[in-house]
Structure 1
Amino acid sequence: DTLAAFRAGPALASTALRARPQADPPLYIGIAGAKRAGKDTLASGLASALALPCDSFAAPLRQFVASLLGLSLRELDSRKEDTIDWL
């Protein structure tokens, strides 16, 4: 349509151009609750039912900490309840 309007030259004023479609704003759903309350289970169910991607807030933080400690994510997860001796 735009190319046809360009070729129309002086007749451009009479050619209706389509408006650019508006993009939908991203959808963010936050879930809060106590430990072991089922937040991940609920998030997975919602993501599946609504065909949405599912990610956690802590995922990038876990990746960062794992890289700092030189561990894989699996190793980090297996040690997440270990006490860290900071001194």
Structure 2
Amino acid sequence: MSNRFYRIAGVLVGVGMILLGLYNTTADEVTCGGRVLEQGGRCTTIHKGGGSTERTYDQQKSLNKRKGIIVLLVGAGLGVGSFVAFRGPRQGR
């Protein structure tokens, strides 16, 4: 496929990730495993190795926000990187 396809796909995926990251960092509701967590609730994550992690509402809210920021930054990097990397040779030099 052409570089143009990869450029457009990378930019679109990057923009999508930016939007998802913005949503996650600004969302009022706190989610745990796809379910809304109420104030005072606890989120329990069970690991494949048999252990588990329990987080309070505030800890889960903070984790959701951190994940949103990471997705936003990765999306921005992907979008900008795709645009710059596949723009082709510069004309006029």
Question: Is TM more than 0.5 here?
Answer: no
Of structures 1 and 2, the one with the larger relative CO (CA 8 A, separation 6+) is: 2
TM-score (norm 1): 0.24
Q: Which is richer in strand?
A: 2
Q: Which is richer in helix?
A: 2
